[in-house]
Amino acid sequence: MLLKFTDPSKLKTKRIIYENVFPARDSATLELLKELSSNRRLIEESINDKSLLTEAIAREMSGGLTSRVEQDLRKLDFYLPLLENLILYVESHDIPMVRKWVADIGIQWSSAMKESSGLFGGSKYFRVNNLQFEIGMCTYLYGALLRDNAFEIQSEDLVESTALYRKAAGVFEYLANVILVPLQSEFTGEFPPEGVTAMSDIMSLVCLADAQAVVVKRSEQNNSSSGVLSKLHFGITQMLDEALSILRSNARYFSDVSSNSRLLEFLISCSFLHRLRSQRYFAKDIRTRHCNGGTEGEFGVAVAVLRNAVAGLKNARPPKDPKWREVFHQEASSTNEFLEKFEHENILVYREKIVDYDKIPLLEGRKIVDTIPYEPQKFVREFDFMT
């Protein structure tokens, strides 16, 4: 999209050592628990920026992957099936001590959507004594990293980038509809926004908007018509507006996130900027039709569309982020230049009446991307615990 937002993957967590708490009855169970702990430790050290591995060793361990994002995705590919296997086992066996064991391992995660807390601005950790919280946060991280990976390769492979964004959307969709549902009743005190189903709904829409933005880029390279590009850009705006509506309607869960956060600013600003792009392409499409023998008065409509866009700019608040603000000003400048060009052309050539705002046709949106369903990998092994 026009703005880059990588905050969702900036999660942090505390160490978990399964074999220190879950009492293994045999060596096979002990090895499974150690494998769980070692795979999780690799993830924890990486996202907490505490990994001691050299680049060469990290690359070798990941099968030659050079991207840190891809390396972390590979680690989660190993850990998530092991974790789900443990969860399925304890859920299908009546083990009275499980709740105590889960509480004793101390599952703690920070939020990427909340401000840092404390005297030195360190991360605030949320503790939820439920393995579903662990797999939920890890799967959220997986979706966020897929989104980061899609952005990484966007300049090299637009088709694969689109697919990765759609896969990320599918991960968040699965989170909202399956993994996080039984966890909602566990949130009685403070909890991270990432654990709420509505946040995954929001992120799924953001990823779909990302995917459509890549499609727009491909369409621009293929010289698609201005009318098509206008509809695709406005389709992005519609998806972001839907995400914004979910955020605001679930304010009781998100508090500061829904009223004052980078996520809120991102959704508002990015939606507005893609609307601007849509308006410019819409005006250009009207002009093209007019020049190709359209009806009288169409050029006046095109000018009115751009005047409406510039009027919206006057009421818009530039984002606080310096990089986002730079993009905002670039888009504003381009829109003003478009208007000046069209007004000048109308004065010199067409001399058509500029229609009133209430006569301006509504923008049309087109959504042409959908999710690629997430299918968790399966790993089935039996545990034997002392009870």
Alpha-carbon distance of 15 to 116, in angstroms, equals 20
Rounded CA Rg of the chain: 25
In terms of pLDDT, which residue wins out, 258 or 188?
Answer: 188
Measured in degrees and rounded to the nearest 5, phi and psi for residue 24 equal -80, 135
Q: Is the pLDDT of residue 120 over 60?
A: no
Burial 207-228 (b: 16+ CB within 10 A, else e): bbbbbbbbbbbebeeeeeebbe
What does the alpha-carbon distance between residue 129 and residue 149 come to, in Å, rounded to a whole number? 31
Mind listing the pLDDT tens digit for each residue in 54-78? 777 777 776 778 789 999 999 999 9
User: DSSP class of residue 63?
Assistant: T
Mean pLDDT of 318-341: 97
The partner residues of 13 in beta bridges, in order of sequence, read: 109
What confidence score (pLDDT) does residue 290 get? Answer: 83
Residue carrying the six token digits 């920070």: 110
Model confidence at 255, in pLDDT bands (50, 70, 90)? Answer: confident
Lookup: tokens for 172: 């968040």
pLDDT, residue 122, reads: 73
Residue in the structure block whose two tokens are 């709420």: 196
Of the pLDDT bands very low, low, confident and very high (cuts 50, 70, 90), residue 116 is: low
Kindly report the average pLDDT of the chain as a whole number: 92
For the chain, which residues make up each domain, given as ranges? 7-273, 276-359
67 compared with 239, residue with greater pLDDT: 239
Residues in CB range of 140: below 8 A, 6 or more apart: 8, 11, 172, 175, 194, 200, 203
User: What residue type is assigned to position 324 of the chain?
Assistant: W
Tokens 């009223």 correspond to 259
371 close to 75: Cβ distance less than 8 angstroms: no
Q: Kindly state the average pLDDT of the residues 23-41.
A: 97
Tell me which of 164 and 254 has the higher pLDDT. 164
Strand-pair partners of 109? 13, 126
Q: Which range is least confidently modeled, 118-122, 137-141, 162-166, 330-334?
A: 118-122
CATH assignment of 7-273, among 1.20.1250.20, 3.40.50.2020, 3.20.20.10, 1.25.40.280: 1.25.40.280
pLDDT above 70 covers a percentage of the chain that reads 95
Q: How far apart are CA 198 and CA 287, in angstroms?
A: 42
> At residue 296, does pLDDT exceed 80?
no
Q: Which residue in 263, 268, 173, 249 sits closest to 211, CA to CA?
A: 173
Query: What is the reported pLDDT for 258?
Result: 53
On whether the CB atoms of residues 32 and 383 are closer than 8 A, the answer is yes
CA atoms 206, 208, 214, 216: torsion sign:
negative
* pLDDT over 60 at 121, yes or no: no
Pair 82, 161: CB distance under 8 Å: no
Q: What percent of the chain stands above pLDDT 90?
A: 80
pLDDT (mean) for 39-66: 82
User: Rounded to the nearest 5 degrees, what angle is found at the Cα of 197, between the Cα atoms of 70 and 99?
Assistant: 90
- Please report, for residues 111, 235, 242, 268, 313, the alpha-carbon distance to residue 203 in angstroms, rounded to integers and kept in the order given: 14, 16, 11, 14, 27
**Is the pLDDT confidence value at 119 over 70?**
no
**Tens of pLDDT, residues 151-174:** 999 999 999 999 999 999 999 999
Residue 9 confidence (pLDDT): 96
